[in-house]
């Protein structure tokens, strides 16, 4: 299993989840098996360029984005940032008077 296959699989899984799709839904929309999608996401199988194009089209990205080394990590880090619960809050506690 090469690092490139793992990167590819991690990014496919990341963008699939961003598209709110399960492996089953991606498999159905691409007409590939769930087993195949799972093997690709784990970096065990490397799909052909034609299959990569099909997967990228369904999850709404360009094929090149699936090979970007920081794409999944970058987006995961952004999603972990805590946001204020209400408009105007900064997340800091008010001091007692």
| Residue 19: inside a domain | yes
Q: Which domain holds residue 29?
A: 3-74
| Residue 86: inside a domain | no
pLDDT of residue 70: 79
pTM exceeds cut of 0.85: no
For residue range 17-70, what is the model confidence (pLDDT) as tens digits? 999 999 999 999 999 999 999 999 999 999 999 999 999 999 999 999 999 987
| Residue 39: inside a domain | yes
Q: How many domains does the chain fold into?
A: 1
Q: Average pLDDT for residues 72-78, to the nearest whole number? A: 46
| Residue 55: inside a domain | yes
List of residues 6+ apart from 72 with CB closer than 8 A: 10, 11, 13, 14, 15
**pLDDT at 13 exceeding the cut of 90:** yes
CATH number of 57's domain: 1.10.260.40
Confidence class for position 72, pLDDT limits 50, 70, 90 = low
């Amino acid at each position: 299993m090469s690092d490139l296959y793992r990167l590819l699989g991690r990014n496919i899984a990341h963008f699939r989840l961003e598209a709110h799709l399960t492996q089953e839904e991606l498999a159905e929309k691409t007409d590939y098996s769930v087993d195949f999608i799972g093997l690709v996401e784990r970096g065990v199988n490397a799909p052909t360029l034609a299959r990569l194009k099909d997967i990228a089209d369904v999850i709404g990205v360009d094929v090149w984005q699936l090979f970007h080394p920081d794409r999944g990590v970058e987006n995961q880090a952004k999603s972990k940032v805590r946001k204020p619960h209400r408009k105007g809050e900064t997340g800091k506690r008010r001091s007692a008077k």
